[in-house]
Chain A
Amino acid sequence: MSANIKKNLSMTLASLTIVLSASLSWADDNDWVNNLEPIPEHDWDYAKARHLIERGGFGDSPKNIERLVSMGPRAAVRELLYYEGIPDPLPKFDHSNIHDDGIEPFPASRPAATKLAKETGEAIGVKVKPSGNRRLQPVVDRFFYWLRASMLETRRVAHWWANRMLLSKRPLEEKMALFWHGHFATNEEKVRDYRKLLNQNQVFREYGTANFKQLLIEVSQDPAMLSFLDAGVNVKGSPNENFAREIMELFTMGVGQYTEEDIREAARAFTGWNYIDLQFVVNAEQHDSSDKIFFGNTGNWDGLDVIDMILEKPVTAEYISGKIYKFFVRDDIDPKTKKELGAVLQNSAYEIKPLLEKIFLSKDFYSSASMGTHIKSPVELVISTYKKLGLVVIPGVPDFYDTTESLGQILLFPPTVAGWAGGQSWVTPGLLLARGNFVYDTVFPNIKFLPSDRYPDNYQIGVVAERLAAGADIATATQPEDGYATSASNNMVDRDEEFNTRLGSYRGWRTAIEKVKPISRAPARLNITKLVLDANCQTSEDAINYLINRFFSVSIDQGTRQQITDFLTQQLGTDNIPAAKTFSEEALRETFHLLLSLPEYQLG
């Protein structure tokens, strides 16, 4: 062993020792819990720097964490927060070009599309056939085309975003965008337009760490949100309360801070807010300009007035700070902390950065109640695993969408307007196994992988295609699979002879995958051997300690470390890592899977 390697090795082991001793010192840190004072410079260490980038970003390599350690806490936090000077050379989203003007305005449903076509002879930019069987079929084909193309393109947007999370040198920008996406949760299934989701995503990036008032206005006037919460049909004389309710209940104040009357009046204030394609518009003639009584104030309020009055309430600042705290620090917030943080946000006129700076520098953030206690969300789990592996692109196999779907968090498809419940709900017995399986699929990618953005998960589409190719007529080709259906739903599929929805479904999918660009299907280019050799690991024990230090936020008991070390030694036939380097990759991957299958890996 050269002197140089020895020196590096002793450094690596030294930093490990620091981590271990830091975790031991937690026992008596009670005065740090709920304490928002900044942490002293001399308490700054590797574990705390790692914690900062784990929560404020998606984790990082040991090299970058060492850099943050050397900067000290203030400079490290400021670099994370004030990222505007850091170049962002990552490519913009590469559109597949699936949209055209005929699609706007897209009908609310297939029945609405065929009704419109019957009445006017045209819908979604497609004319009704002058005569013959299934005259409305082209309209139905087109309807399903856009439904599927937009859904698939939205998955490409999510994939593009995942790459940004992995690669951006401004990790907090993407982390806050993820937070706001869960806060202002908008789902493609209802919006049915990937462009609106993409634009909204850009709003989160642009305003996500700036000013909450401005962000709230941007989101309230954003076509994705307007469409998602039916603001488009909120008009004078028939207010729709969906947006008015959620802006107070979910986006600003929380339940119990307003009356049902306030919701009705706010809905009237928002009347006329609408969108045309990707543009926010105010339809003056649909705006109710009579007086409204909101929070006891009478006046001819519009949506911006309502937003102002909401933001004046201290409870709004507390609700938003509390939710940000929950995302970055831990699930339960002390009432006193909530008040204090709310005051920080309100005193800065809703500037978000001072609040984040307060949180990221606080003793509370680095207390034992916070560090290593957060259950990583599926997106955090997947991105941070890739990042800590040193990947430079999101793998195509396993598929990012499939993986996060099986773990319970699909970007741009949140379950409801309340976003994801988060916290303990991220992990159930089934999801815990799925998280281990994600690691397996990363190190041993499925060689029989079928991309679900090409191969329809709706098996009927495939059946219809096969029958048509075999020469079946359309009625036969689109029969329910076994030709014997007793349920009302299976009997009604072919009821209307002017079109056939199953045929439309098949054609829509076929056209969609013709147009939507494919996602690259390269598996992860992993080299765990290099990872441990570069860190000068000499023995199996070094390798296991190094991997734990690199990937885990909590310590692993000695017995378990020993078992996994023994496993690695046994698979390698030696405990000498450099000596095994020509054949160690398979064994290291098996070991890696074992390690990251430990339940503790879910904690960040």
Chain B
Amino acid sequence: MHKLALVIDDPVILSQWDDAVKRSTGVVRSTEEEADAVITYAVSAVQKSIQRGLHVLVCFDEAIASSVLHELSISCQKASVQLMVASHLRFSPAIQQICNSLEIGQLGEPGVVRIHRWLPSGKGDMQARLTDEIGLAIGMFGVRPNTVYGCSNGDEENYVHAHLGFPDGGMALIDVSLTLPPGDDYYSFSLIGSDGSAYADDHHNVHLMYAGGMPCAHRNPTDPVLNRIAMLEAFSRLLTGTDKVTCDIPALLSAKKVMSTVVQSIQSNQSWMLSQDGETYVCS
């Protein structure tokens, strides 16, 4: 049983994590002094925990500079601690279901990942949203894309489309829009594999509400605790060595790198290719 300390200031968020810990197996809440791992949102708390030899589940709720992430990654290696980056997207019930099918081989080799992430204007930061989705796509293929292309409608703050090509022919199309009218968002994720396919689409999961005129599409609200329980279980498996880390700092850095290359592609109007060093992208 892993002892978890919750180093979280926001009382609502703290309460959700507390609920998740109570509903999870393999972890129990404890004080910082007795903990062998922490959940936190603050970089300073991450650094402090690593120094104390504690494993970390970190939720970055703002953009963190790549240089800071590099330092944290090195610190983790030196201290031999595990660090998992929380991802509400990766651990959402729909994506979990698809990841499970992919991992046990039901879908074969992934061929296309298609993501639509549309939000009302003012809801979220474009680069952060795009980085999340790119990270998810990279996670599905398990490798960094070797071709990156991006384009926009002339308003990069509010609309970006990313087109990624992966080794062995895999490909991903991701578009993030921040222009929907006030109200609900829309999410669609599909994966076409060599042996099967998976479709997680809000379009398939709406109820109809009649209140005069055209019916309204109505979605079940998301339980914010469910994603956290899934994250805690993955974190617990990581700490016991029964699973490998999928959401870590190198994965986040990789997604950030690809995201910045998408932006460069938009600015240069060309596709970019992974260079021989396997790290940097060059304009083709």
The answer to whether A and B interact is no
Chain B residues in contact with chain A, CB under 8 A?
Answer: none
Residues in A lying within 8 Å of B, measured CB to CB? none
